């Protein structure tokens, strides 16, 4: 127990480092909306334009009411959920293996770079990961020794999970396919009991499923209106599929040169592939569920993305615990302590080196809107205007601007001539230019209106901020 507490403490501390980063676009949208709307509007109005169920927004709204909306405090729920998920990985590992493997798996989850990154994000991904792990824990508990408590826990946790995010819905097919494949290893009573339990989960989720068609249609309309954006957020590209194990292993870090990146990552890829293949040596009918949990959602998400752009590695983080549990089972396959220590040391080295690079390199942190806003504030005049390559002002700038400067979307209904009529200094944000203005037309329009680009500053994730003066 002392070791588990130590692992949880390490997980919590690692998730606090660089927690005060600037809010990026999606985080700022969540925070601004949660801060400004009431609970009813969050559920029935905002969610129609946000392709996610409402649970996280309601939690964030409640949290902000008590603790405010600073970067650290709005991310603390994810920190807590990320740390709790490490504990659940231990419990699942102990159900399936022995204490040593459970400790190795929870250690890998505690230090995993992608797990750390999304435990620091004011988004729903770690909530979904936590609830998926709870659901899986009860699913495995039922198969080992069912009881009223395990059935109740499975039904409630799975129902709540379906209010957190949409891709974790794909864990349900994982359950069903596993039950079908190993039906001869499961008692007939237990097997039949899953039918009413899944029906009950469906009815508990039904209130939101009645809203889902409107939200789904709005999402399709957005994707159709901006094909480039659809490609960015989740296209069924084989490269995106290959990125899943890469990002699961080393997190958000990358290299500008694909060939160099591939060569650097090759030894790591060989090591991880070896562990995953080696984990097959410890398979049993119950342990096989880890492969269903890992593979089925990834495969189904990829297939669905041919019709709806949803495929991205970070949306699949709810299967990350299965990834680390399989690695841990391989590390502890051979009961020879020196080899176990060697494999674990190498796995931890990959995690910690990747995490340190993320901590120390601004390129891999979140978009630095806070610094960009401070830069603009430092050069503002009474007649300054801030323009964005979008139909409207962008949420992270609004969050830090607090109404100090006039803002507008350069691609809105109002012409740039009218927007800049009384301005003597215009700040143009390059952000989203590749999607909304790849030809640089707004830059050219400002130049034709007599504005001269007097200064340009680059900010990580945000891109260039151009200063125009008359």
Question: What string of H, E and C letters represents the secondary structure of 172-211?
Answer: HHHHHHHHHHCHHHCCHHHHHHHHHHHHHHHHHHHHHHCC
User: pLDDT tens digits for the chain (470 residues)?
Assistant: 899 999 999 999 999 999 999 999 999 999 999 999 999 888 888 877 778 899 999 999 999 999 999 999 999 999 999 999 999 999 999 999 999 999 999 999 999 999 999 999 999 999 999 999 999 999 999 999 889 999 999 999 999 999 999 999 999 999 999 999 999 999 999 999 999 999 999 999 998 888 887 777 766 666 555 555 555 566 778 888 988 999 999 999 887 777 777 788 889 999 999 999 999 988 999 999 999 999 999 999 999 998 888 899 999 999 999 999 999 999 998 878 899 999 999 999 999 999 999 999 999 999 999 999 999 999 999 999 999 999 999 999 999 999 999 999 998 878 898 999 889 999 999 999 988 898 999 999 999 999 999 999 999 999 999 999 98
Instruction: Please state, as a whole number, how many other Cβ atoms lie within 10 Å of the Cβ of residue 150.
Output: 18
- In terms of Cβ atoms closer than 10 Å to its own Cβ (0-12, 13-18, 19+), residue 251 is buried
Quote the CA–CA distance of 286 and 377 in Å, as a whole number. 59
Give the CB-side neighbour count of residue 68, counting CA atoms within 13 A.
4
Instruction: Locate 105 and state its tokens.
Output: 């798996």
Instruction: Please state, as a whole number, how many other Cβ atoms lie within 10 Å of the Cβ of residue 51.
Output: 20
Strand 452-459 versus strand 463-469 pairing type = antiparallel
Instruction: Please state, as a whole number, how many other Cβ atoms lie within 10 Å of the Cβ of residue 73.
Output: 16
Quote the CA–CA distance of 133 and 144 in Å, as a whole number. 16
Strand 384-388 versus strand 406-409 pairing type = parallel
Interaxial angle between packed helices 148-161 and 188-209, expressed in degrees from 0 to 180 and rounded to the nearest 10: 30
> Is residue 425 within 8 Å of 465, Cβ to Cβ?
no
> Is residue 78 within 8 Å of 120, Cβ to Cβ?
yes
Enumerate residues 6+ apart whose C-beta is below 8 A from 382.
none
Q: Which domains does the chain have, with CATH numbers?
A: 2-364 (no CATH), 369-469 (3.40.190)
pLDDT for 221: 62
Instruction: Find the angle CA(307)-CA(310)-CA(315) to the nearest 5 degrees.
Output: 155
Smallest CA-to-CA distance from 271 within 343, 351, 357, 320 is with: 343
> Is residue 69 within 8 Å of 102, Cβ to Cβ?
no
Instruction: Please state, as a whole number, how many other Cβ atoms lie within 10 Å of the Cβ of residue 284.
Output: 10
Quote the CA–CA distance of 423 and 53 in Å, as a whole number. 41
Q: In the block, which residue shows the tokens 């329009």?
A: 445
Give the CB-side neighbour count of residue 378, counting CA atoms within 13 A.
9
- Report the residue count for the chain: 470
Enumerate residues 6+ apart whose C-beta is below 8 A from 286.
96, 140, 143, 144
Quote the CA–CA distance of 387 and 222 in Å, as a whole number. 22
Name residue 384's beta-bridge partners. 425
> Is residue 140 within 8 Å of 95, Cβ to Cβ?
yes
Instruction: Locate 93 and state its tokens.
Output: 């590992």
Model confidence, pTM: 0.94
Helix H or strand E encompassing 304: helix 289-304
């Amino acid at each position: 127990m002392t070791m588990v507490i130590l692992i949880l403490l390490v997980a919590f501390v690692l998730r606090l480092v660089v927690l005060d980063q600037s809010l990026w676009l999606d985080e700022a949208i969540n925070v601004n909306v949660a801060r400004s709307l009431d609970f009813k509007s969050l559920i029935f109005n905002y969610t129609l334009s946000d392709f996610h169920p409402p649970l996280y927004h309601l939690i964030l709204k409640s949290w902000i009411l008590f603790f405010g909306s600073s970067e650290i405090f709005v991310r603390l729920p994810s920190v807590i959920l990320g740390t709790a998920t490490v504990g659940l990985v231990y419990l699942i590992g102990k159900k399936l293996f022995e204490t040593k493997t459970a400790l190795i798996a929870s250690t890998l989850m505690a230090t995993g770079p992608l797990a750390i990154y999304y435990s620091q994000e004011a988004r729903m991904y770690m909530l979904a990961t936590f609830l998926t792990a709870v659901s899986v824990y009860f699913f495995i508990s039922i198969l080992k020794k069912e009881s009223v408590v395990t059935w109740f826990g499975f039904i409630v946790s799975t129902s709540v999970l379906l209010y957190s995010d949409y891709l974790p819905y794909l864990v349900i097919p994982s359950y069903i396919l596993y039950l079908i494949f190993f039906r001869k290893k499961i008692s007939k009573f237990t097997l039949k009991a899953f039918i009413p339990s899944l029906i009950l989960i469906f009815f508990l989720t039904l209130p939101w499923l009645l809203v889902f068609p409107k939200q789904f249609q709005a999402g399709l309309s957005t994707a159709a209106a901006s094909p480039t954006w659809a490609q960015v957020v989740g296209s069924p590209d084989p490269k995106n599929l290959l990125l899943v194990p890469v990002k699961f292993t080393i997190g958000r870090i990358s290299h500008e040169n694909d060939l160099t990146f591939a060569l650097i990552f090759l030894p790591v890829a060989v090591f991880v592939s070896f562990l995953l293949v080696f984990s097959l040596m410890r398979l049993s009918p119950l342990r096989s569920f880890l492969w269903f949990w890992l593979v089925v959602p990834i495969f189904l998400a990829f297939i669905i993305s041919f019709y709806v752009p949803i495929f991205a590695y970070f949306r699949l983080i709810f299967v990350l615990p299965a990834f680390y549990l399989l690695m841990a089972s391989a590390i502890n396959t051979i009961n020879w302590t020196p080899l176990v220590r060697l494999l674990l040391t190498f796995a931890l080295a990959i995690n910690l080196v990747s995490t340190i690079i993320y901590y120390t390199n601004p390129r891999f942190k979140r978009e630095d809107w806070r610094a960009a806003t401070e830069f603009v504030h430092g050069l503002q005049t009474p007649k300054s205007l801030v323009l964005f390559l979008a139909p409207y002002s962008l949420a992270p700038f609004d969050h830090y601007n607090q109404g100090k400067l006039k803002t507008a979307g350069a691609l809105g209904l109002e012409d740039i001539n009218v927007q800049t009529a009384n301005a003597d200094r215009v700040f143009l944000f390059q952000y989203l230019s590749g999607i909304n203005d790849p030809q640089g037309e707004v830059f050219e329009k400002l130049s034709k209106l007599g504005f001269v680009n007097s200064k340009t500053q680059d900010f990580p994730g945000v891109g260039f901020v151009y200063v125009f003066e008359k």
